[in-house]
């Protein structure tokens, strides 16, 4: 266990924002997995999942939006590094009883910094896309639980959010 005191990596010694300098780091294989949840009322969920209706279109649109967002993360989050992503995957699990959609995003790169922000951005944008496409049936859709669940690579190695 490390005795070092945690710090905010994007603040310099004077407390001013700074982009983390990763120039001296060695590129390593890095993976991050994030999740998010979208909950809606029974009517909206029924419309989304009704055969021949919108499930495929909504989820495929959300998947494409998520991939595009992960690729543009550095344009959305001011101090993120621009990374060459080798993979972005987005999967959905439907919970009919709870009228809930679980979103899971996996991002990979071989670079000097991790892809946690890209994975969480992908989940967030997928959830917002589902909201946008379903809001006519339920304006009270809830997006929650956006979180990192796994990361590997780099100095800190493997981490799991159990």
Contact 148, 119 (CB under 8 A): yes
Choose, from 132, 138, 144, 162, the residue flagged as catalytic. 132
Q: Give the side-chain half-sphere CA count within 13 A for 122.
A: 32
What is the C-alpha to C-alpha distance for residues 67 and 153, in angstroms, rounded to an integer?
21
- Report the b/e string of 134-155 with b at 16+ CB within 10 A: beebbeebebebbebbbbbbbe
Q: How many residues does the chain have?
A: 162
Whether 132 sits among the annotated catalytic residues: the reply is yes
- Which amino acids are annotated catalytic? 132
């Amino acid at each position: 266990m490390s005795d070092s005191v945690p710090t905010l990596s994007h603040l310099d010694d004077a407390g001013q924002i700074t982009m983390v300098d990763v120039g001296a780091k060695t590129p390593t294989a890095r993976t991050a997995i994030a999740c998010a949840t979208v909950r809606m009322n029974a009517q909206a969920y029924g419309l989304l999942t009704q055969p021949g209706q919108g499930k495929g279109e909504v989820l495929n649109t959300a998947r494409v939006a998520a991939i595009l967002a992960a690729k543009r993360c550095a344009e959305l989050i001011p101090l993120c590094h621009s990374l060459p992503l080798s993979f972005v995957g987005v999967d959905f699990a439907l919970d009919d009883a709870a009228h809930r959609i679980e979103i899971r995003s996996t991002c990979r790169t071989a670079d000097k910094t991790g892809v946690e922000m890209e994975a969480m951005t992908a989940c967030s944008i997928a959830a917002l896309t589902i909201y946008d496409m379903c809001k006519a049936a339920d304006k009270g859709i809830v997006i929650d639980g956006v979180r990192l669940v796994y990361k590997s690579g780099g100095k800190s190695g493997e981490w799991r959010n159990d």
